[in-house]
Amino acid sequence: MKDVWKKFDETEPSHSSIHHLMAVYHLHQKNGYARGIDIANYLNITRGSVSITLTKLRDKNYLTEDENKFYHLTEQGQQLVSSALNKRHIVKRFFSEVLQLPAEVAELDACKIEHLLSNETGEKLICFMGYYLSEKPEVLNFRLGFQQFKYKCQSVAECRLCESDCFFSGKEISKTG
């Protein structure tokens, strides 16, 4: 695959745009409406910047503007927001409930990657979490075993999980430490 690494910031729409859309969603939930100034305050950027970005998003049919300058997500915009929000949510749960990461790390990491993950990955992760959180006996045993488990990274040569130059080498890693 050519130029995989460039795909990173070629998401359409961009990370920034998605957060503008999520702001609209959030403000509607909270206040029942979303104006430019509200979005600007929420995202902590200027009104001018918001005006420019939202005009583009309007032209691309992610949202509409009514007579009162209130913004509304279109079907298309809402779908993007839902998709990102759901991925963030499930990733965060995986990070905190399976990997046992502190809430802030889980939140931050989930937010950073939410819109980069494919929907396919999101779906599979939901499936996994559905299983992991079930009360099936084999799952309970698995969780119990994991509680006890400590992964001791062997010498660089023997480490099965890292690439060469394993930077965790020598560290003992457990769920909690």
Partner DNA sequence: AACTTTTGTTTTATTAATAAAACATCGGTA
Partner DNA sequence: TACCGATGTTTTATTAATAAAACAAAAGTT
Q: Is 47 in the site for DNA (CB under 7 A)?
A: yes
Here's the x/- map for a second copy, 1-40, by CB under 8 A: it reads as xxxxxxxxx-----x---x---------------------
Nearer to a second copy, 67 or 158 (CB): 158
CA distances from 53 to 56, 69, 73 (A): 5, 14, 14
Tokens 């305050």 — which residue? 41
Per CB under 7 A, 44 contacts DNA: yes
Do residues 38 and 29 make contact, with C-beta atoms less than 8 angstroms apart?
A: no
Q: Quick check: 92 binds DNA (CB under 7 A)?
A: no
Task: Give all strands (DSSP E) within 24-90, no chain letters.
Answer: 63-65, 71-73
Closest CA to 51 of 20, 27, 81: 20
Window 68 to 97, contacts with a second copy (CB under 8 A): 78-79, 81-83, 85-86, 89-90, 93, 95
When asked if residue 141 is in the footprint of a second copy (CB under 8 A), the reply is: yes
Query: Quick one: 14 or 100, whose CB is closer to DNA?
Result: 14
Residues numbered 36 to 65 that lie near a second copy (CB under 8 A) are: 43-44
Give CA–CA dist 162/63, Å, rounded: 44
